Chain A
Amino acid sequence: MQIRFLCLIFCFLSILPADLYSDETSFSQSEQEVIKDFESDYNDSSSDDDLLSDDLFGDEESSATSKEIKKVYDPLEPVNRAVFIFNDKIYFYIFTPVSNTYTKITPKFARTGISNFFSNIGSPLRIANNLLQGKIKTAGAETGRFFVNTFLGFLGFIDSAQTIDGLNPPEEDLGQTFGRWGIGAGPYIVIPFIGPSNLRDAAGMAGEIYLDPADLIYEPSNNEQYILTGIKTLNALPAQMEMYKTLKESAFDPYSSAKDAYNQIRNKKIKE
């Protein structure tokens, strides 16, 4: 009788789904819930698991955006890894020393001013991208920002709009516009000197060179363009080198860390 009873229990146990008594037993119910949510979010990045959802902190419309593929599409990985290592050497031996010297000889207020200036002349392009995405409200905020900073901030050198509520919209670029239109990221690319990107965003970057509405106000000659781009790049270098250093130090595998970071940040920007 007893043996029969034990057999019955055994039979019953063996038909239970395996995961009921497998590894997760060491986790409490609330922990398992966290794990489950994280897993489903990881496997499907389009699901919005944020408690602090867009209606609280973000901008308008959060629906759109196509489903992202589970893993970053990286068919060029061997080439990308080679370029990544090349960039790493360039950053270490050339860019970092250059940026350190630049930081030493340029006072902080000048660096901030230059950064503000370039951010400000990027405004017309961001307004255009807002309009292309149908974000009228943000386009208005960006326009307001442009006028405040151009006229009250000495041609944009001072970011006066920063302290004004509603005049600090998220920055939009052409890659994000493409994403918003439902164009997928395409293969992941590491661009020499520049770093992580993908086909869509690289196309966006190329497009912006030709479509900048700021050129309607004043179109710089080729030489002027080179000088401006040079100053802009140099001025942005210290922050970028610092960011790269942090990423490299904290990562287990810097290549896949950078790939994931780029993708997460871009997806988030397309959504907002």
Chain B
Amino acid sequence: MIKKILLSVLIIITVQSDCFASSPMDAIKKPTNKIIDILQAEKYKNLTPELREEQWEEIWNIVKDSFDFKIISRLAVGKYWSSFSDEQQDKFQTLFAELLANTYINKVQENFKNQKVIFKDDKISGDKAEVLINIAIEDKPVPVIYRLINKNSWLIYDVKIEGMSMVRNYRSQFDEYLFKNSPKDLIKALDSKIEKLRIERKKPVDAN
């Protein structure tokens, strides 16, 4: 009888620990390594505009599952969020995700091929976590902290580079804009900015 109880306890413990196997660190490590693999893949050695686009899509597919764009949008807009209609909130979320994707994935594609990433440490506090990594840019390590929220899996809601919070940076921009303009204006302005970036991205890059 006691044996049985002990066994079942043991089973419960192992099953449980398996559930929690995905740590915040894993939530950063796995996608990062996948992206590095894509960047170094043999088939992307000579990037034609088509291949570049294909690589971009492949990276985006990984990135979009790692970030929580709903909460990122809410944090970036701040107190004005409630003045957005449901429709505007959805639209904003899509556009903001696209703005981030269009600027940062391009940067990664341009500059990230041979960068070294060192996964340093993670810390959990309730449903929040932070993960510290170092990216060696020009041999100098740049500290990057990911802030994550637990929703069955860990999702990123902010990135701090050299101590600067990216979401906070956008917040200050949208704050200033929404002080004078309506959510509708913001969405329109965001849309035209992204359109510009999209055209830029499709343009062949001159090799230097």
Contacts and interface: CB of A to CB of B under 8 A. Distances in A.
A33 B120 CA distance: 26
Given A23-B82, A42-B168, A252-B193, A34 B145 contact: no
Interface string B119-134: 0110111111110100
Contacts of B197: 249
A249 B101 CA distance: 12
B172 interface: yes
A28 B151 contact: yes
A219 B105 CA distance: 47
Residue of B172, B190, B197 with most chain A CB atoms under a 10 A cut-off: B172
A71 to B, nearest CB: 8
A250 interface: yes
A contacts with B: majority SS: helix
A39 B126 CA distance: 18
A266 to B, nearest CB: 10
Nearest to A252: B173
Contacts of B157: 34
Nearest to B82: A23
B120 to A, nearest CB: 8
Interface in A240-262: 246, 249-253, 256-257, 259-261
Contacts of A23: 81-82
User: Size range of the interface on B?
Assistant: 35 or more
B78 A42 contact: yes
Contact of A57 (B79, B121, B193): B121
A253 B164 CA distance: 17
Contact of A260 (B124, B149, B173): B173
B40 interface: no
Given A30-B127, A52-B130, A269-B163, A112 B138 contact: yes
Contacts of A51: 123-125, 128-130
A265 interface: yes
Contact of A30 (B123, B126, B165, B167): B126
Contacts of A50: 130, 145
Interface of B: 71, 74-75, 78-79, 81-82, 99-100, 103-104, 106-107, 120-121, 123-130, 132, 138-140, 143, 145, 149-151, 157-158, 162-165, 167-174, 176-177, 189-190, 193, 197, 208
Instruction: Please give me the 6 A-B residue pairs with the lowest Cβ-Cβ distance, nearest first.
Output: A268-B163, A30-B127, A260-B172, A250-B103, A23-B82, A264-B164
